[in-house]
């Protein structure tokens, strides 16, 4: 097997800080050219900010949505890239506007902030920001529901196996599904700890698993454990981040899952929102509302640089008659014969 092309920093370890930025690209050629050319400039920008504080391990992953890909690039889109599929159950998973994803991580939030500022300055009107989340690592790697989050993430060689496309023209790339969730913490904290633990499927204090036999089939850890036809577990790499604003009463979890195949994450989402068996949905959702949803493809690092040169052919010129206002040269060429 050939070694994989160097990925973007998809497989970077969980960080203390993250900034997730999703934007849309206006329908105009100048904007398309700016975003396309930026693909070759991002790595330099990350070095320029990150080298000033190497111990903060600044990284940035850039991904593209299905609708914008053919507007930006001649290179064929990855097979699994399609618009985020919204889900409608007792609770909804909406699809929201987003052409471009920046997933910025570091051990310090100031570096994430500085890089996002520079990215937006470089792109100018070519990127319309849709939403941004500045996430932080919370005690014991807990989310704001109070549970340790990320325990069953793959480790070691299982990380690239779960997150990166293994073969073909898009090898080394990764599919990212991103959702912003807002929690109703008053309602959640109104449950006793045992009820919360049955919803998540783990003990709150010591983070141990609760046996499947003691759990309802709707427990989060059961609905998000998915297997292939041979019973092999299919994994994704989660980079969840807590975020919020106490003064505004906002408490959230940013869900970001990298996968070699977006169908794995989509199966987990269907299980959560529609239930498995159908109807028995994930009760996390009674207390957590998904307010954004997007699917993006983050090409391998070298592929990203190559995309800077991958301009689609210009749209065919309109027929001269249609183009030329009356009275211009074409009309006057005809006039002697008229």
Angstrom CA distances, 235 to 117, 153, 163, stand at: 33, 8, 8
Eight-state DSSP code of residue 43: H
Instruction: Please tell me whether residue 184 binds ligand HEM under the rule CB under 6 A.
Output: no
Q: What does 207-235 look like in DSSP terms, one character per residue? A: -PBPPGGGS-TT-HHHHT-EE-TTSPEE-
Angstrom CA distances, 199 to 147, 222, 234, stand at: 11, 10, 22
For residues 116 and 21, is the Cβ–Cβ distance under 8 A?
yes
Q: Contact with ligand HEM (CB under 6 A): which of 181, 188, 243, 296? A: 181
Q: Contact with ligand HEM (CB under 6 A): which of 92, 152, 280, 286? A: 152
Judged by CB under 6 A, how many residues of this single chain contact ligand HEM? 27
- Closest chain position to ligand HEM (CB): 152
Query: Which residue lies nearer to ligand HEM by CB, 225 or 310?
Result: 225
C-alpha–C-alpha distance, residues 114 and 335, integer Å: 63
Residue 210 CA to chain centroid, in angstroms?
30
Q: Is 149 an annotated catalytic residue?
A: yes
Angle value at C-alpha 39, between 33 and 42, nearest 5 degrees: 130
Query: Which residue lies nearer to ligand HEM by CB, 25 or 240?
Result: 240
Query: Which residue lies nearer to ligand HEM by CB, 208 or 245?
Result: 208
Place of tokens 């325990």: 151
C-alpha–C-alpha distance, residues 22 and 99, integer Å: 7
Residues 199-218 that bind ligand HEM (CB under 6 A): 200, 202
Instruction: Please tell me whether residue 143 binds ligand HEM under the rule CB under 6 A.
Output: yes
Query: Which residue lies nearer to ligand HEM by CB, 59 or 179?
Result: 179
Q: Contact with ligand HEM (CB under 6 A): which of 196, 218, 288, 292? A: 288
Q: Which residues pair with 295 in a beta bridge?
A: 177
271: phi then psi, degrees, rounded to nearest 5: -60, -45
Q: Contact with ligand HEM (CB under 6 A): which of 59, 109, 134, 253? A: 253
Q: Which residues pair with 101 in a beta bridge?
A: 22, 63
Contact segment (CB under 6 A) with ligand HEM among 25-33, 155-163, 266-274, 324-332 equals 266-274
Instruction: Please tell me whether residue 162 binds ligand HEM under the rule CB under 6 A.
Output: no
Query: Which residue lies nearer to ligand HEM by CB, 117 or 151?
Result: 151
136: phi then psi, degrees, rounded to nearest 5: -135, 155
Instruction: Please tell me whether residue 219 binds ligand HEM under the rule CB under 6 A.
Output: no
Instruction: Please tell me whether residue 145 binds ligand HEM under the rule CB under 6 A.
Output: yes
For residues 295 and 66, is the Cβ–Cβ distance under 8 A?
yes
Query: Which residue lies nearer to ligand HEM by CB, 150 or 249?
Result: 150
Torsion angle of the four alpha carbons 148, 210, 195, 265, in this order, in degrees rounded to the nearest 10: 60
Q: Which residues pair with 133 in a beta bridge?
A: 20
- Residue tagged active-site, from 99, 143, 149, 239: 149
Q: Contact with ligand HEM (CB under 6 A): which of 106, 185, 219, 268? A: 268
Binding site for ligand HEM (CB under 6 A): 143, 145, 147-152, 179, 181, 200, 202, 220-221, 224-225, 236, 238, 253, 255, 257, 265, 268-269, 272, 284, 288
The set of catalytic residues is: 149
């Amino acid at each position: 097997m050939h070694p994989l092309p160097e990925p973007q920093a998809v497989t970077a370890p969980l960080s203390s800080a993250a900034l997730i930025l999703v934007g849309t690209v206006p329908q105009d050629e100048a904007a398309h050219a700016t975003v396309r050319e930026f693909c070759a400039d991002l790595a330099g920008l990350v070095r320029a900010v990150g080298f000033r504080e190497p111990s903060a391990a600044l990284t940035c992953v850039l991904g593209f949505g299905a609708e914008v890909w053919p507007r930006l690039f001649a290179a064929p889109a990855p097979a699994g890239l399609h618009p985020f599929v919204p889900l409608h159950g007792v609770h909804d998973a909406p699809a929201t506007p987003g052409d471009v994803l920046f997933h910025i991580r570091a051990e310090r939030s100031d570096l994430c902030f500085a890089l996002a500022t520079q990215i937006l300055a470089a792109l100018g009107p070519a990127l319309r920001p849709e939403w941004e989340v500045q996430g932080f690592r919370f005690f014991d790697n807990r989310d704001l529901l109070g549970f340790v989050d990320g325990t069953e993430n793959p480790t070691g060689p299982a990380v690239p196996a779960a997150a990166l496309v293994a073969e073909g023209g898009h090898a080394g790339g990764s599919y990212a599904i991103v959702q912003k969730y807002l929690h109703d913490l008053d309602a959640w904290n109104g449950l006793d700890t045992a009820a919360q633990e049955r919803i998540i499927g783990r003990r709150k204090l010591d983070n141990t698993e609760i046996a499947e036999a003691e759990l309802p089939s709707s427990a989060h850890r059961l609905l998000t454990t998915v297997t292939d036809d041979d019973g092999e577990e299919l994994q994704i790499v989660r980079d969840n981040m807590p975020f919020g604003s106490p003064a505004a009463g906002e408490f959230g979890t940013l869900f970001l899952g990298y996968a070699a195949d977006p169908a794995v994450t989509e199966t987990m989402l269907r299980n959560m929102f529609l239930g498995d068996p159908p109807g028995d949905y994930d009760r996390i959702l009674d207390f957590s509302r998904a307010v954004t949803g997007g699917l993006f493809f983050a090409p391998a690092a070298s592929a990203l640089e190559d995309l800077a040169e991958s301009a689609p052919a210009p749209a065919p010129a309109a027929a001269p008659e249609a183009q030329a206002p009356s009275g211009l040269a074409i009309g006057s060429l005809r006039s002697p014969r008229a």
